[in-house]
C-alpha cells in the first residue's frame, strides 16, 4: 500500500482518491517491449536450440506475461494480498502439472498406443 | 496473510469516519460504506475470478504437456499446419488490444469520456479482428479435415476434398456442406450482428437519438472489424498459397529426383514468403495426378505428399530455417504423424485450447460492449471506474493466455 | 461462565423481537420478493429448501439401494436389466448427494445465512452474484433431473473414462449439470472470500472471527482453486464424447488415468469443501454449548487453512490401484498422512474445550457429540485407505463406502443438522421441541452406526462396492445395514417433523437462546433485513463471561456491570489464545 502513488489529476475532490492512472508513456513502452519480444520469439523459432527450445519459448512467454501482469494489469501497484492471490494460483497449477505430468512420464513406458495404418497417398488415414 | 489484510481494512475504517458527511453516491451499493471499499471488493473479486480462469485453463495445459511429452514428434509435425504468420498477427492484435484496454482504464480514471469510448471501441475492434483471423484459420483447417481425433480425415493426397468426397468419408451431406463452407457459417452470425447494428445506427439517426447514435457508431466499426480480420486472414493465407506453389515446385523437383533444397528456403524464411504466386488449382491437381499415376513407390509418394502437404496447407510460415533439418525431421515425422490418433490428437488440443480461448474472447466482447454503452453514458469517474478496471484485468488475462498459447501451438519444432 | 441469574444492578442488553417490517422473512411479500431477493438470508433459506429437497430425493434413492441389497440376488430389481438399474440407482444417489447436497449444504445454505451476520456486515460483497449462483444451482439440478428422466446415468458420480465415453446413458446432461453446479460453487466461494476480506466492520480482526468463518474461508479457497479444474475436466469429457478428442479416451490413445488425475485434483479437495464447513460448525457448537472458551482458537483456525492447502497434495490416494507409477503412489500415500495432522488437532481441541465445560445437552450439542464420534471413526479408517498395502486389499470394497459415509454423512450431514438445529431459532425465530430434537439425534446416531459399521466388516471381508448382488455369506451384514438405513431414515424424518412443527407451533425464539457470543446472536431472531443498523461492536466471539441466563424470560442476555462513558482501552489486536 505504501508504494501506491496517488495521482493528482483525479477528480476525487476532498475524498480519498484510490485511482492510479498509468502514464501513457509507460503503457506505450510496455506495448513496444511486448511487440519486440513477440518478434524475438518468432525469430528464435528459426534457430534450432535443441531441447532448450521449449524453455526458451516459455521463458520469453513468461517475460511477456510478467510485463502484462505488472503494468497492464497494474499488479505492481496492487495490494499485496491481490498479488499473492494471483501469483499463488500458479503454485497450484504447478502442483497439478508436476504430479500429473510426472506420473504420466513415469508410466508412459507401459503405454501401448493404438497404431493407425498409415496410407497417406491412397485414401484418408483410417 | 493476516497482517497484509489488516491494513486495508483499518484503512477503510478510517475513511469511513472521514466520509460520513458524504452522502451515498448513486454508484455506491447500499451494503458498502465507501467507494474505495466497493472498489477493493470488486478488485479482489475479479482477481479471484482470474485465479479460477488460470486453473480452468491449466487443465488443458496439462493435457498439452502430457501428450507433447509422450509424442513430441507428433506435435512438431502437426504444428507445421498452423500458420505462424496468422498466429503472430493475432498475437500483435491482442497485445494492441491490451494496450488500448489499459489505456481505457486510464481514461476512465481521469474522466476522459470520449477517449474512453474510443479506447473501448479500439479494444473491441481488435478482438473482432482476432476472431476474423481465427475464423479463417479454423475454416481452412476444417475444410482440410484437420479436426479433432475422432473426426480427423486429413489426406495429404487430397488436402481439399469436395463435398462429394467428404460424403464418401462417412459425413452426412449437411456436415460435409458445413465443413466445405465453414467460413460462411462462421461469418454468418457476425454478418447478422453487423446488419443489426447498422439498422440500429440508421434508426437512431432517423429518430435523432444522440445517445443511441453514439453507441451504434463505434459498434458498427467494431462489427466491420471482424470482416477486416477475415480479409487480413485471407490475404495472409493467400500468402501461404504462394507457399502452396513453392511447395509444388518442391514436390515436382522431388518427384524428378532433384534435390529440393533450393526451393525450400523461399517457403520458410520466418514466414515471409518471397516466392511468386503459383496458386492455380489446376497445377495443384496436375501435380498430384502426375505423382499419383507415375509412382508405385508408396514410401516416396507419401514422403512427397507429406512434404507437399506441409508446405501447401495453412502452414505458410514453416518455421524451419535450415534445410537439413527440414529434410531430416519433418518428412519422416509427418508420414507417420498425419493420422487420426497422432495429428488428430494435436488438433484436439489445439481446438480445445484456442476454442475455449475464443469463447473467452466472445465473453470479453459482451462485457466490453456493455462498458462501451456505459462509457457513452459517462458513468465512470475517478471514484467509480471499477467495472472498466475489472473487465480490463479479465481482458489482459485472456491476452496473457494467448501469450502462452501462441508459442506452444504455433512455434514448435 | 453463564451460570446463575442476572446480578443486581447490571445493565441487560437484549435486542428483543423484530417487528414485521424488520423481520427479513416478512418485510416484503410475494413470491417475486423471494425470487429476486438480494438478501443473503433469504438466499440462504432458499438454498436450505433446495438442498433439503435434493437430500430427500437422494436419500430415497439410498433407501432403494439398501432395500435392493436385502437379498443376495437383489430384492428390488429382477431380470436381465437388474444390474443396469442398480448402476443407475447408486450413480444418481452419489451424484445428487455430492453435487446437489453435500457440497452446497453447509457453505451455501448455512454459510449464506451466517457469514455476513457473523461478520457484522450488511450483506455479502456481491449480492447479485450470490443470487446468480443460487439459480445456477437450480439449473444444475434441472440437468440432473433431465439425466434421470432421459436415459439415466450409470457411470458412478466420478464419470470415469473410458466407460463414460462409451455408455449410452445421459453422461452429457449430467456433466453439464455438474459443470454448472461447479460455477455455482465457485461464485459462492469467491463471494465469501471477498466478503470476509473486505466487509469486516471495524474491530473484527482476523482473530476475532468465529471459527465458522475461518472454516468457510478455507472452504472458499478450495472452491475457487479446485472447482475450475472440475469444470475443464467435465468440459473435456463432453468434448470427448461429442468430438472424440482422444485426451481421455483410450480408443484414440487417450489416457484414462489422466482423467482420474484431473478428476481427483478437484474431487479430493472437494471432500474438504464438504467437511471443512462442518468443522467450523462443530467448533462453534462445542464452544457455545459447553459455555466455555474454545480451546486453541488459533490452532483450529490455522488447521482449517492447512487442511485446505494440504488437500491439494494428496489426490492420488484415490488412484493407488488405477495404474499410477509406483513412485507416485508412494509420494501420494506419504502426503496423505500429513492431512490427518490438522484434522486431529481439531478433534483434540474440541475435546479440550468440552473438558470442564458446563455442557448443555441441547439438540445441537447432541449432534456435535455424534459428529466427533463418527468423524473420528471416519477419519481413522481413512488412514487404512491411505496406506498402500492395506489399500490394495480394501480398494473398491464396502470398506471405502463405509469410510466416506462416516465422513460425509456421519461428519457433514450430522454437522449440517447440528448447525440447522443451532441456528434454526435465528433463521426462523421459532424454538423447536428439545425432546424431539434430542430423540432425532439419538435415532440418527444409532441408525447411522447400524448402517455403516457392518459395511466396514463387509469391506474387509472382500465385498466389492457397486455390486447389485452378493454372496449369501454377506447377507446377514447387508440386512443389518439395510435395517440401519431405515432407522436412519426414520431419524431424519423425525428431525424434519420437529423442525417443521416448530414453524407452526414453536415458541418465539429469543435473540440468544443458547448463550452464544458471536454477532449473529446480538441481532433479533429472525434478524432484521438490514442485519445491523450500524456496524456492531465486535468482541471476542468465545468470551462467555458477560452472558447470563435470564430465567424469567428463558433467554440468555448480555450483561454489563455498569455503563461506562469511556470505552475500555483494548489492545489493537487482541491475542485470542
Ligand atoms: Cu481423497
Task: Please indicate whether residue C234 or residue B179 has the higher confidence score (pLDDT).
Answer: C234
Q: What is the pLDDT of residues A1-30, one digit of tens each?
A: 333 434 333 333 334 567 888 899 999 999
Contact A114 C316 (CB under 8 A): no
Give the C-alpha distances (Å, rounded to integers) separating C44 from A118, B221, C38, C127, C131.
Answer: 59, 45, 10, 12, 10
Measure B355 CA to nearest chain C CA, in Å.
11
Q: For residue C229, which residues of chain A lie inside 8 Å, CB to CB?
A: 96
| Mean pLDDT value of segment C528-547 | 84
**Per-residue pLDDT at B250 exceeds 60:** no
| Mean pLDDT value of segment C192-212 | 92
- Range name among B143-157, C135-149, C155-169, C210-224 with the lowest pLDDT average: B143-157
Which domains occur in chain B, in start order?
A: 43-273+337-410 (1.20.120.80)
Give the C-alpha distances (Å, rounded to integers) separating B322 from B318, B333, B357, C239.
Answer: 11, 17, 33, 38
Interface test with B, best of C129, C206, C232, C304 (most B CBs within 10 A): C232
The fold for domain C3-561 equals Cytochrome C Oxidase; Chain A (1.20.210)
**Per-residue pLDDT at B287 exceeds 90:** no
**Per-residue pLDDT at C567 exceeds 70:** no
**Per-residue pLDDT at C171 exceeds 70:** yes
- Range name among A106-120, B382-396, C300-314 with the lowest pLDDT average: A106-120
Residue C73: CB partners within 8 Å, gap ≥ 6?
A: C469
Interface test with B, best of A121, A122, A126 (most B CBs within 10 A): A121
- Grid cell for residue C230: 472440475
CB B165 within 8 A of CB B145: no
Q: What is the pLDDT of residues B70-85, one digit of tens each?
A: 888 888 888 888 888 8
Among A92, A103, A114, select the one facing C312 at the smallest CB separation.
Answer: A92
What spacing in Å lies between the alpha carbon of C317 and ligand 1's midpoint?
A: 6
Position C372 scores a pLDDT of 95
Domain ranges of chain C: 3-561
| Mean pLDDT value of segment B45-53 | 95
Contact B148 C121 (CB under 8 A): no
Question: How many Cβ atoms sit within 10 Å of the Cβ of residue B3?
Answer: 9
| Mean pLDDT value of segment B377-393 | 91
Task: Please indicate whether residue C8 or residue B59 has the higher confidence score (pLDDT).
Answer: B59
Q: Which helix (H) or strand (E) holds C430?
A: strand C430-431
Query: Coil, helix or strand for C11?
Result: strand
| Mean pLDDT value of segment A60-67 | 94
| Helices B182-207 and B113-144, packing angle to 10 deg | 160
Q: What is the pLDDT of residues C269-323, one digit of tens each?
A: 999 999 999 999 999 999 999 999 999 999 999 999 999 999 999 999 999 998 8
Q: What is the pTM of this model?
A: 0.86
**Per-residue pLDDT at B296 exceeds 60:** no
Task: Please indicate whether residue C566 or residue A33 has the higher confidence score (pLDDT).
Answer: A33
What spacing in Å lies between the alpha carbon of C8 and ligand 1's midpoint?
A: 55
Q: What is the pLDDT of residues C469-515, one digit of tens each?
A: 999 999 999 999 999 999 999 999 999 999 999 999 888 999 889 98
Question: How many Cβ atoms sit within 10 Å of the Cβ of residue C205?
Answer: 18
- Say whether residue B413 is in contact with chain A using an 8 A CB cutoff: yes
Position B173 scores a pLDDT of 83
Position C570 scores a pLDDT of 58
3-state secondary structure chain B: CHHHHHHHHHHHHHHHHHHHHCCCCCCCCCCCCCHHHHHHHHHHHHHHHHHHHHHHHHHHHHHHHHHHHHCHHHHHHHHCCCCHHHHHHHHHHHHHHHHHHHHHHHHHHHCCHHHHHHHHHHHHHHHHHHHHHHHHHHHHHHHHCCCCHHHCCCCCCCCCCCHHHHHHCCCCHHHHHHHHCHHHHHHHHHHHHHHHHHHHHHHHHHHCCHHHHHHHHHHHHHHHHHHHHHHHHHHHHHHHHHHHHHHHHHHHHHHCCCCCCCCHHHHCHHHCCCCCCCCCHHHHHHHHHHHHHHCCCHHHHHHHHHHHHHHHCCCCCCCCCCHHHHHHHHHHHHHHHCCCCCHHHHHHHHHHHHHHHHHHHHHHHHHHHHHHHHHHCCCCECCECHHHHHHHHHHHHHHHHHHHHHHHHHCCC
Among B5, B60, B341, select the one facing C206 at the smallest CB separation.
Answer: B5
Q: What is the pLDDT of residues B161-174, one digit of tens each?
A: 888 888 887 788 88
pLDDT band of residue B268 (cuts 50, 70, 90) is very low
Half-sphere exposure in the Cβ direction for B266 (13 Å, CA): 21
pLDDT band of residue B127 (cuts 50, 70, 90) is very high
Position B305 scores a pLDDT of 45
CB B71 within 8 A of CB B344: no
CB C381 within 8 A of CB C402: yes
Strand partners, B114: none
- Say whether residue A99 is in contact with chain C using an 8 A CB cutoff: yes
Measure B135 CA to nearest chain C CA, in Å.
19
Which burial class, exposed, middle or buried, applies to C106 when counting CB atoms under 10 A from its CB (0-12, 13-18, 19+)? buried
User: Chains touching chain B at 3 or more Cβ pairs under 8 angstroms?
Assistant: A, C
Task: Please indicate whether residue B334 or residue B234 has the higher confidence score (pLDDT).
Answer: B234
Average pLDDT of chain A? 78
Give the separation between CA C239 and CA B24, rounded to whole angstroms: 49
- Say whether residue B396 is in contact with chain A using an 8 A CB cutoff: yes
**Per-residue pLDDT at C157 exceeds 70:** yes
Q: Is the peptide bond before B286 cis (omega within 30 degrees of 0)?
A: no
| Mean pLDDT value of segment C52-62 | 95
Position B169 scores a pLDDT of 78
Most confidently modeled of B305-309, C13-17, C182-186?
C182-186
Position B356 scores a pLDDT of 95
pLDDT band of residue B282 (cuts 50, 70, 90) is very low
Give the C-alpha distances (Å, rounded to integers) separating A12 from A7, A78, C19.
Answer: 10, 19, 40
Q: Is the peptide bond before C162 cis (omega within 30 degrees of 0)?
A: yes
User: Residues, chain B, total?
Assistant: 413
Contact B393 A88 (CB under 8 A): no
Average pLDDT of chain C? 90
Give the separation between CA B195 and CA B148, rounded to whole angstroms: 33
Question: How many Cβ atoms sit within 10 Å of the Cβ of residue A117?
Answer: 7
Q: For residue C202, which residues of chain B lie inside 8 Å, CB to CB?
A: 9-10, 13, 16
Contact C323 A107 (CB under 8 A): yes
User: Residues, chain A, total?
Assistant: 126
pLDDT band of residue B20 (cuts 50, 70, 90) is very low
Helices of type H across C244-325: 256-290, 297-310
Measure A6 CA to nearest chain B CA, in Å.
11
Average pLDDT of chain B? 75
Position B239 scores a pLDDT of 63
pLDDT band of residue B343 (cuts 50, 70, 90) is confident
Block residue for cell numbers 487430397: B158
Question: How many Cβ atoms sit within 10 Å of the Cβ of residue A76?
Answer: 11
- Say whether residue B286 is in contact with chain C using an 8 A CB cutoff: no
Contact B340 A125 (CB under 8 A): yes
**Per-residue pLDDT at C464 exceeds 50:** yes
Give the separation between CA B39 and CA B34, rounded to whole angstroms: 9
pLDDT band of residue B351 (cuts 50, 70, 90) is very high
Amino acid at each position: 500500500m505504501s508504494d501506491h502513488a496517488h495521482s493528482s489529476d483525479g477528480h476525487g475532490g476532498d475524498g480519498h482518491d484510490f485511482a492510479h492512472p498509468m502514464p501513457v508513456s509507460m503503457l506505450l513502452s510496455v506495448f513496444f517491449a511486448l511487440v519486440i519480444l513477440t518478434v524475438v520469439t518468432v525469430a528464435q523459432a528459426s534457430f534450432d536450440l535443441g531441447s532448450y527450445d521449449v524453455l526458451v519459448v516459455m521463458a520469453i512467454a513468461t517475460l511477456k506475461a510478467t510485463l502484462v501482469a505488472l503494468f497492464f494489469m497494474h499488479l505492481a501497484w496492487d495490494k499485496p494480498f491481490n498479488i499473492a492471490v494471483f501469483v499463488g494460483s500458479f503454485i497450484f497449477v504447478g502442483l497439478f502439472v508436476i504430479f500429473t505430468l510426472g506420473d504420466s512420464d513415469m508410466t508412459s513406458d507401459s503405454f501401448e498406443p493404438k497404431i493407425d495404418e498409415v496410407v497417406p497417398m491412397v485414401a484418408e488415414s483410417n | 496473510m493476516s497482517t497484509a489484510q489488516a491494513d486495508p481494512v483499518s484503512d477503510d475504517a478510517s475513511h469511513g469516519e472521514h466520509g460520513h458527511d458524504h452522502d451515498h453516491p448513486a454508484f455506491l451499493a447500499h451494503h458498502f460504506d465507501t467507494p474505495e471499499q466497493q472498489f477493493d471488493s470488486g478488485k479482489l473479486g475479479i482477481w479471484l475470478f482470474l485465479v479460477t480462469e488460470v486453473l480452468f485453463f491449466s487443465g488443458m495445459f496439462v493435457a498439452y504437456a502430457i501428450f507433447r511429452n509422450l509424442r513430441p514428434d507428433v506435435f512438431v509435425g502437426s504444428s507445421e499446419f498452423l500458420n505462424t504468420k496468422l498466429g503472430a498477427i493475432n498475437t500483435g492484435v491482442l497485445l494492441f488490444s491490451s494496450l488500448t484496454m489499459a489505456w481505457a482504464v486510464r481514461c476512465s480514471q481521469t474522466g476522459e469520456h470520449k477517449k474512453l469510448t474510443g479506447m473501448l471501441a479500439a479494444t473491441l475492434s481488435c478482438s473482432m479482428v482476432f476472431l476474423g483471423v481465427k475464423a479463417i484459420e479454423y475454416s481452412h483447417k476444417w475444410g482440410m479435415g484437420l479436426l479433432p481425433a475422432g473426426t480427423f480425415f486429413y489426406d495429404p493426397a487430397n488436402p481439399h476434398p469436395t463435398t462429394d468426397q467428404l460424403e464418401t468419408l462417412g459425413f452426412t451431406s449437411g456436415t460435409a456442406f458445413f465443413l466445405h463452407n465453414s467460413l460462411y457459417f462462421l461469418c454468418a452470425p457476425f454478418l447478422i450482428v453487423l446488419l443489426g447494428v447498422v439498422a440500429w445506427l440508421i434508426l437512431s439517426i432517423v429518430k435523432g437519438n444522440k445517445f443511441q447514435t453514439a453507441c451504434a457508431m463505434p459498434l458498427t466499426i467494431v462489427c466491420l472489424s471482424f470482416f477486416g480480420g477475415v480479409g487480413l486472414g485471407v490475404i495472409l493465407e493467400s500468402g501461404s498459397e504462394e507457399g502452396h506453389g513453392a511447395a509444388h515446385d518442391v514436390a515436382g523437383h522431388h518427384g524428378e529426383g532433384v534435390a529440393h533444397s533450393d526451393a525450400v528456403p523461399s517457403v520458410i524464411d520466418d514466414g515471409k514468403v518471397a516466392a511468386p504466386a503459383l496458386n492455380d488449382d489446376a497445377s495443384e491437381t496436375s501435380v498430384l495426378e502426375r505423382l499419383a499415376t507415375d509412382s508405385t513407390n508408396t514410401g516416396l509418394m507419401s514422403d512427397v505428399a507429406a512434404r507437399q502437404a506441409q508446405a501447401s496447407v495453412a502452414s505458410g510460415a514453416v518455421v524451419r530455417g535450415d534445410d537439413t533439418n527440414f529434410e531430416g525431421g519433418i518428412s519422416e515425422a509427418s508420414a507417420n504423424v498425419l493420422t487420426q490418433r497422432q495429428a488428430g490428437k494435436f488438433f484436439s488440443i489445439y481446438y480445445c485450447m484456442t476454442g475455449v480461448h475464443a469463447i473467452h474472447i466472445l465473453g470479453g466482447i459482451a462485457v466490453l460492449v456493455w462498458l462501451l454503452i456505459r462509457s457513452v453514458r459517462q458513468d465512470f469517474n475517478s471514484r467509480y471506474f471499477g467495472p472498466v478496471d475489472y473487465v480490463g484485468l479479465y481482458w489482459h488475462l485472456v491476452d496473457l493466455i494467448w501469450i502462452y498459447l501462441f508459442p506452444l501451438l504455433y512455434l514448435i519444432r | 461462565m453463564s451460570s446463575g441469574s442476572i446480578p443486581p444492578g447490571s445493565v441487560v442488553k437484549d435486542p428483543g423481537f423484530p417487528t414485521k417490517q424488520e423481520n427479513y422473512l416478512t418485510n416484503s411479500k410475494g413470491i417475486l420478493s423471494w425470487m429476486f431477493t438480494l438478501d443473503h438470508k433469504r438466499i440462504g433459506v432458499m438454498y436450505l429448501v433446495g438442498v433439503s429437497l435434493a437430500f430427500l430425493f437422494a436419500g430415497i434413492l439410498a433407501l432403494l439401494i439398501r432395500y435392493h441389497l436385502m437379498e443376495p440376488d437383489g430384492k428390488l430389481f429382477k431380470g436381465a436389466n437388474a444390474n443396469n438399474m442398480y448402476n443407475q440407482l447408486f450413480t444418481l444417489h452419489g451424484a445428487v448427494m455430492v453435487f446437489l447436497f453435500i457440497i452446497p449444504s453447509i457453505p451455501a445454505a448455512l454459510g449464506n445465512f451466517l457469514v455476513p451476520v457473523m461478520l457484522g456486515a450488511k450483506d455479502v460483497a456481491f449480492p447479485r452474484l450470490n443470487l446468480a449462483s443460487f439459480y445456477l444451482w437450480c439449473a444444475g439440478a434441472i440437468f440432473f433431473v433431465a439425466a434421470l428422466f432421459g436415459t439415466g446415468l450409470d457411470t458412478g458420480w466420478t464419470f470415469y473414462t473410458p466407460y463414460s465415453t462409451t455408455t449410452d446413458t445421459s453422461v452429457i446432461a449430467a456433466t453439464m449439470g455438474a459443470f454448472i453446479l461447479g460455477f455455482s460453487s465457485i461464485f459462492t466461494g469467491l463471494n465469501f472470500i471477498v466478503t470476509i476480506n473486505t466487509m469486516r466492520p471495524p474491530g473484527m480482526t482476523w482473530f476475532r472471527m468465529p471459527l465458522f468463518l475461518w472454516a468457510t474461508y478455507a472452504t472458499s479457497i478450495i472452491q475457487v482453486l479446485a472447482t475450475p479444474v472440475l469444470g475443464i475436466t467435465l468440459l473435456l469429457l463432453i468434448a470427448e464424447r461429442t468430438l472424440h478428442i482422444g485426451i481421455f479416451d483410450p480408443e484414440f490413445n487417450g489416457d484414462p488415468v489422466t482423467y482420474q488425475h484431473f478428476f481427483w485434483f478437484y474431487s479430493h479437495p472437494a471432500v474438504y469443501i464438504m467437511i471443512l464447513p462442518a468443522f467450523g460448525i462443530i467448533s462453534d457448537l462445542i464452544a457455545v454449548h459447553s459455555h466455555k472458551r474454545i480451546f486453541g482458537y488459533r490452532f483450529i483456525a490455522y488447521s482449517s487453512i492447512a487442511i485446505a492447502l494440504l488437500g491439494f497434495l494428496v489426490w492420488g490416494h484415490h488412484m493407488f490401484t488405477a495404474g499410477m507409477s509406483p513412485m507416485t503412489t508412494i509420494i501420494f500415500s506419504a502426503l496423505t498422512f500429513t492431512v490427518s495432522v490438522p484434522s486431529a488437532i481439531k478433534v483434540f481441541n474440541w475435546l479440550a474445550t468440552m473438558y470442564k465445560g458446563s455442557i448443555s445437552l441441547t439438540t445441537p450439542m447432541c449432534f456435535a457429540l455424534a459428529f466427533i464420534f463418527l468423524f473420528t471413526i471416519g477419519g481413522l479408517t481413512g488412514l487404512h485407505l491411505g496406506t498402500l498395502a492395506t489399500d490394495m486389499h480394501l480398494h473398491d470394497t464396502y470398506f471405502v463406502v463405509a469410510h466416506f459415509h462416516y465422513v460425509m454423512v456421519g461428519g457433514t450431514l450430522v454437522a449440517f443438522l447440528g448447525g440447522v438445529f443451532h441456528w434454526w431459532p435465528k433463521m426462523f425465530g421459532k424454538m423447536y421441541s428439545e425432546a424431539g430434537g434430542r430423540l432425532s439425534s439419538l435415532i440418527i446416531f444409532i441408525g447411522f452406526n447400524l448402517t455403516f459399521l457392518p459395511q466396514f466388516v463387509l469391506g474387509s471381508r472382500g465385498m466389492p462396492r457397486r455390486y447389485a448382488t452378493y454372496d449369501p455369506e454377506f447377507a446377514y451384514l447387508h440386512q443389518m445395514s439395510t435395517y440401519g438405513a431405515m432407522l436412519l431414515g426414520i431419524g431424519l424424518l423425525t428431525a424434519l417433523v420437529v423442525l417443521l412443527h416448530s414453524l407452526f407451533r414453536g415458541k418465539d425464539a429469543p435473540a440468544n437462546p443458547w448463550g452464544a457470543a458471536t454477532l449473529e446472536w446480538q441481532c433479533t431472531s429472525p434478524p432484521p433485513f438490514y442485519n445491523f443498523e450500524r456496524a456492531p461492536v465486535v468482541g471476542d466471539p468465545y468470551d462467555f463471561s458477560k452472558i447470563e441466563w435470564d430465567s424469567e424470560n428463558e433467554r440468555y442476555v448480555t450483561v454489563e456491570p455498569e455503563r461506562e462513558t469511556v470505552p475500555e482501552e483494548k489492545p489493537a489486536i487482541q491475542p485470542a489464545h
